């Protein structure tokens, strides 16, 4: 079942609607037309109760003011781009710099600040965005469609995009989860698996370095179950530089298994993340700050995590054959997906 409801009104008068997907067990996910943001995720725990495991806000106005990307879609290019620029077909494109000298998640007014149009289908909702040429500095008129469905505890987001000029593209979702329930304290005792043998080191600006290196013998090895806090307490210089936690990109080449599995230490709720994209950014909520959230909650550092499936960061500026291509050609229809499966 899918229910549509009015969320609020944009400053220019456009109405914003939310869609709530309800599965056969009474679990639900709410997604907004604004930023395609996941507003709420109510899932069953071991005690038989529903917990909302998504960090977020009560009102549209709070999402309009948000700087932490709570629940939002990210594009035209996820993660960091060095010096906020790249050269393509002999032209250097200058982007919005919003992370020191660099561009993060597409810039200040990127997809996470856009209102999508929506169409209700039989078992999904289709969200659509038209991004004009040089939007945030990126070339070409870019069309993005997200098809969202929620069936048997699995939220699937299927992305389809095309552009009339060559352009780099990397789309992801930036939901913050707390599997003990939003506002219910730290996620540092959550248990994590990341099915990746290599990760990208991060420099002092948190730019991902190429090529990826082996995780073995490092705090970045989550190939077997480990609590997040156990890695952070190694006091690795890389983790200290990332403000005391993880903000690192993993190579996830095996798409027949989940890229990551996270388990809440209090509720037993498990999240499996699936995608056909080559990389996964793990962020342990190092800079959430003291942020007012839903239902009177306040969110602090390490009280939410993000697992962002994506293309490799800054890949359009890496001139090495081993780095996957992230440039879509003019007229090239591209598809990818992310699935969050709760149990």
Catalytic positions are 174, 308
> Cα separation of 207 and 199, whole Å?
12
C-alpha distance from residue 5 to each of 31, 197, 279 (Å):
11, 44, 34
**Backbone angles phi and psi of 143, in degrees to 5:** -115, 125
Token couple for 314: 């800054």
Task: Give the contacts of 48 (CB within 8 A, at least 6 positions apart).
Answer: none
Could you tell me the CA-to-CA distances from 195 to 62, 225, 274, 288 in Å, in that order?
35, 10, 11, 26
C-alpha dihedral sign at 64, 83, 139, 333: negative
| Residue among 211, 139, 148, 184 nearest 21 (CA) | 148
Euclidean distance between CA atoms 32 and 73, whole angstroms: 11
CB 261 within 8 A of CB 146: no
């Amino acid at each position: 079942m899918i229910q549509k409801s009015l969320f609020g009104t944009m400053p220019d008068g456009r109405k914003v609607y939310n869609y709530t997907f309800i599965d056969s067990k009474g679990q639900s996910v709410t997604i907004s037309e604004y930023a395609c943001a996941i507003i709420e995720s109510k899932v069953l725990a071991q005690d038989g109760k529903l917990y909302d495991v998504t960090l977020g806000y009560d009102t549209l106005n709070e999402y309009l003011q948000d700087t932490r990307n709570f629940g939002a879609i990210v594009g035209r290019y996820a993660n960091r781009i060095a010096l906020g620029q790249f050269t393509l077909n002999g032209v250097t494109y200058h982007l919005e710099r919003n992370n020191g000298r660099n561009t993060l998640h597409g810039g200040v007014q990127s997809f996470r600040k856009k209102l999508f149009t929506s169409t209700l289908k039989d078992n999904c909702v289709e969200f659509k965005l038209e991004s004009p040429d040089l939007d945030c500095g990126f070339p070409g008129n870019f069309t993005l469609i997200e098809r969202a469905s929620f069936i048997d505890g699995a939220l699937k987001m299927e992305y389809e995009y095309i552009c009339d000029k060559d352009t780099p593209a990397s789309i992801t979702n930036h939901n913050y989860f707390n599997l003990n329930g939003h506002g219910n304290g730290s996620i540092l005792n959550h248990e994590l698996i990341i099915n990746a043998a290599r990760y990208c080191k991060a420099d002092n600006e948190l730019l991902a370095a190429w090529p990826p290196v082996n995780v073995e013998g490092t705090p970045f090895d989550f190939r077997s179950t480990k609590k997040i806090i156990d890695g952070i307490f190694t006091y690795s210089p890389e983790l200290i530089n990332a403000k005391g936690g993880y903000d690192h990109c993993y190579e996830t080449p095996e798409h027949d298994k989940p890229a990551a599995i996270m388990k809440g230490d209090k509720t037993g709720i498990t999240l499996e993340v699936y995608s056909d994209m080559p990389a996964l950014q793990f962020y342990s909520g190092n800079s959430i700050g003291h942020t007012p959230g839903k239902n009177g909650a306040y969110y602090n550092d390490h009280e939410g995590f993000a697992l962002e499936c994506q293309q490799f960061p800054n890949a359009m500026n890496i001139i090495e054959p081993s780095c996957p291509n992230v440039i879509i050609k003019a007229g090239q229809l591209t598809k990818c997906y992310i699935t969050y499966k709760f149990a």
